[in-house]
Amino acid sequence: YCGKGKKAACQKSIWSAIAAAGAELEADQGSANPAAWRADATGERIKWGPAPLVEMRYTNRPSGIQQVISFKGHR
């Protein structure tokens, strides 16, 4: 587990991983300013059926069944 139970070692490991990811993004994007970073989301579009006539953007939210399963009561 993180830091073998030592909080300082875990914090150092996590911050090192975040710094490495930031450095990689900075190198890929050519800027140290995250507000200037851009990505093409075209590859994440969902295509329906054999012909790509209809597409939709990917969304990270629960489907209907997940919402029903997590339903806990009336409003």
Measured in whole angstroms, the distance separating CA 31 from the mean position of its chain's CA atoms is: 20
Dist CA 41 CA 27 (whole Å):
19
| Residue-wise pLDDT tens digits, 22-67 | 999 999 999 999 999 998 877 777 777 776 677 777 777 766 666 6
For the full predicted model, state whether its pTM sits above 0.75.
no
